[in-house]
Amino acid sequence: MAIPQALVFLLSSFLFVSSYGFNVTLINRDSPRSPFYNFSLSNYDRMTASFKRSIHRRKFFDSSDLVPYVYGGEYLIKATIGSPPFEILAVADTGSELIWTQCRPCSTCFKQDAQIFNPRKSTSYKAFSCNDSTCQAMRTPGCKNNVCHYNMGYNDGSYSNGDISIDTMKLGSFVPRPIVFGCGHDNGGTFSGLETGIIGLNAGEFSLLTQWKITKFAYCLVPFTSVGKDSLLIFGDQATLKGPGVVTTPLLKQTISYFVTMEAIYVGNSKLVVPFVKTANTWLDSGTTLTFIQHDLYNSLSSLVKSHIKLPYARAPWGGFNMCYLTKNLDLGFPSITLQFPGASLSLSPHNTFIMVTSDIACFGFLPTNGSNILGNRAQTNYLVSYDIRKATVSFLSHTC
């Protein structure tokens, strides 16, 4: 669906966002810089919680209606909205489209530690009427007191309902510019109260990227164990990858999410051909920690991986894992795994594929699924991952993030 003319006019002065670009810090929800950080938990406690979130989020990708599963998100972005600027801390989600934040007055709001945005105090805020073309462009618009209304439900029972509005938003050092977003007056579910909403980063027409006409973005995710380092989200031409080591594969054009075709998996020099490859079969998702492989393929993969490992087998400390080994060093005894896509081979080290779940037990970070494959953020760490929406491609470059 084309962007409505009213929205085109409002955003037209910002047509060349991607001509130079800007960067934003991605805050891992379990890093010491995150408000989610709990000093009383061990790294292994945090990992276990992250793994459980991955299991739940997988339901999003198995769902025919593609309603995202939130459950706190894995990465957060600081932004400001309104005039004067009001700071929000939102979940950055490549699986979501709509941008929304909690707003006063609340009919029902989840408890939020930070102050809640009050649109009446913003001189640049405007709610859309029901007859506005922007409202009509929404997939399922509602109308309440002649104000355009949205209803967003998530697979875990969380929800956000409110007004479709426009105001100025600022990310990083980039100058403030208009953004259409949901001003949520009725919100609830599994939100922790530390986040204030969601910033959608898929290719849908109401995502941040489409509204600001950003056709290129990239991220570089630091490993979970890195201390004092931040992951980076890059917008615009700065996100372009060129030179030795860059590999590129097509994205499926018929979807607003990021979907690629996995053709084969190599374990060491042993090859597994992905069966029945006719179209894209693998989601790229920054919001899932673990990687999920279609069940039959996973059975073959896990058997092959086991045949390459001579370490003592260990009982998983958490029931979700199928393959765990006694070790204190991921650099010894584990095979490399390479994912083959059209035009691109993604070589994963044991640090991408195995996880130290305790000080002396490492578990395979791939799990089976009945749905599509999902390449999670653990497998993408220490890679620059660059998306070109106009060309419908994604590129990878091994890099110490």
Quick one: 205 and 275 in the same domain?
Answer: no
Structural domain ending residue among the three candidates 220, 253, 279? 220
Quick one: 147 and 287 in the same domain?
Answer: no
Quick one: 213 and 353 in the same domain?
Answer: no
| Residue at 231 is within a domain | no
Taking residues 325-352, report their average pLDDT. Answer: 95
pLDDT given at position 264: 95
| Residue at 256 is within a domain | yes
Q: What is the pTM of this model?
A: 0.88
Full residue range of the structural domain in which residue 180 is found: 5-53+62-220
pLDDT given at position 133: 92
Quick one: 331 and 207 in the same domain?
Answer: no
pLDDT given at position 6: 35
Tens of pLDDT, residue by residue over 218-237, are 999 998 777 668 899 999 99
Residue 14 has pLDDT above 70, yes or no: no
- Measured CA to CA in angstroms, residue 318 lies from 49, 232, 275, 362 at distances of 10, 30, 31, 12
pLDDT given at position 108: 87
Quick one: 206 and 274 in the same domain?
Answer: no
359 by Cβ neighbours in 10 Å (0-12 / 13-18 / 19+) ranks as exposed
Work out the pLDDT band at 197, boundaries 50, 70, 90: confident
pLDDT given at position 56: 66
Mean pLDDT of the chain, nearest integer: 85
Which residue is catalytic, options 30, 132, 285, 388? Answer: 285
Residue 29 has pLDDT above 70, yes or no: yes
Taking residues 166-194, report their average pLDDT. Answer: 87
Residue 94 has pLDDT above 60, yes or no: yes
| Residue at 227 is within a domain | no
Closest CA to 217 of 391, 368, 72: 391
| Residue at 230 is within a domain | no
Quick one: 246 and 358 in the same domain?
Answer: yes
Tens of pLDDT, residue by residue over 115-149, are 899 999 999 999 999 999 999 898 777 898 899 99
| Residue at 225 is within a domain | no
| Residue at 232 is within a domain | no
To the query of whether residue 285 is one of the catalytic residues in this protein, the response is yes
| Residue at 228 is within a domain | no
Quick one: 124 and 40 in the same domain?
Answer: yes
Taking residues 79-106, report their average pLDDT. Answer: 92
pLDDT given at position 227: 66
| Residue at 149 is within a domain | yes
Quick one: 293 and 376 in the same domain?
Answer: yes
Of the listed ranges 26-30, 283-287, 365-369, the one predicted with least confidence:
26-30
To the query of whether residue 93 is one of the catalytic residues in this protein, the response is yes
Quick one: 159 and 258 in the same domain?
Answer: no
* C-alpha 256: how far from chain center: 13
Quick one: 161 and 255 in the same domain?
Answer: no
Quick one: 216 and 278 in the same domain?
Answer: no
Taking residues 324-332, report their average pLDDT. Answer: 94
Find the CATH number of the domain harbouring 358.
2.40.70.10
Q: Are 31 and 228 in contact (CB under 8 A)?
A: no
Residue 330 has pLDDT above 60, yes or no: yes
Distance CA 207, CA 200 (A): 5
Taking residues 337-366, report their average pLDDT. Answer: 94
Residue 15 has pLDDT above 50, yes or no: no
Residue type, 88: I
Which residue is catalytic, options 30, 93, 132, 156? Answer: 93
Quick one: 267 and 334 in the same domain?
Answer: yes
Residue 16 has pLDDT above 50, yes or no: no
Domain count, the chain: 2
In sequence order, the 6+-apart residues with CB closer than 8 A to the CB of 252 are: 259, 260, 261, 279, 280, 392
